[in-house]
Amino acid sequence: MHKILRYFVILAFFLPFKLSAQFERVQDSVVQLYGVVMTADSLRALPSVSVIIKGTNRGTMTNDDGVFSIVVLKNDEVEFTSVGFKSKVIKIPSKLESNQYSVVQLLVTDTAYLPATILKPRPTRAQFERDFVNTRIPDDKYEIARQNNDAAKRRILMASLPADGREATNYQLRQGASKMYYNGQTPPMNILNPFAWSEFIQAWKRGDFKSK
């Protein structure tokens, strides 16, 4: 019991010195950063410039005269950002003797080149009506399907599109069957076949023999 009391007495005696030393170290590392932010070309004060301590959520902004003030620590990195200017980062010196540090920060204009824009006058009513009437509107899927189902369009497609595998196979089979059927005899000539002449006249009326 006496050992425990002795420990608490010693702890109570040395603890204030330890806390005081830690407080002095923290107090020594705290720096009051203040200054003014201006443009590099005309030395004009910049208002509403963001002054952010990197790696933290702390920061401030410059007033209408470009003046700011913020509490930082030694070795902190402070970033100055503003729309239309290049950002700038400064580092607080670690061997700073005083607890105050002033800066005059100059920001360089960040030039952005936009693509060229051509401005044209508004058309007259006659020009608008002419362009509106002559403008070709692309066909939608419904109109394309309607055109493909047209009888004349289907005949053109049938005459121009090559045969698929099934049609080519059936044609070869019919040719082989006809050859085997007339094997050993002269095949008949369709020039005197009335059915062949009927199909020829119908094809001629349809325009199957016109040049595509």
Report the DSSP beta bridge partners of residue 39.
Answer: 107
Residues 136 and 87 in one domain: no
pLDDT for the residue numbered 170 = 83
Structural domain contains residue 81: yes
Phi/psi of residue 70, each to 5°?
-155, 150
**Do 93 and 183 reside in the same domain of the chain?**
no
Q: Which of 27, 34, 28 shows the shortest CA–CA distance to 51?
A: 34
Which CA distances in Å does 171 have to 116, 140, 198?
Answer: 63, 37, 22
Total domain count, the chain: 2
Contacts of 101 by beta carbon, 8 Å cutoff, 6+ apart:
31, 32, 33, 34, 72, 92, 93
Do 15 and 48 fall within a single domain?
Answer: yes
Residues 6 and 103 in one domain: yes
pLDDT tens, position by position, 151-195:
888 888 777 777 778 877 887 888 888 777 777 777 666 666 676
DSSP 122-140: PPPHHHHHHHHHHPPPPP-
Instruction: Give domain status of residue 112, yes or no.
Output: no
Tell whether 209 is covered by a domain. Answer: no
Q: Quick one: pLDDT at residue 99?
A: 87
Do the beta carbons of residue 68 and residue 80 sit within 8 Å? no
Per-residue pLDDT in tens (0 to 9) along the chain, 212 residues: 555 555 444 545 444 444 444 434 545 688 999 999 999 988 999 999 999 999 888 999 999 999 999 999 988 999 999 998 999 999 999 888 888 899 999 999 988 788 888 888 878 888 888 888 888 888 888 888 888 888 888 888 777 777 778 877 887 888 888 777 777 777 666 666 676 777 778 777 777 766 55
Residues 85 and 46: beta-carbon distance below 8 Å: yes
- Owning domain of residue 178: 125-195
Do residue 101 and residue 178 come from a single domain? no
Q: Is residue 73 part of a domain?
A: yes
Q: Do 148 and 99 share a domain, yes or no?
A: no
Let me know whether 146 and 86 are in one domain: no
Q: Could you give the strand order of the β-sheet that contains 67-73, starting from the edge strand earlier in sequence?
A: 67-73, 30-39, 100-107
**Residue 175 pLDDT:** 80
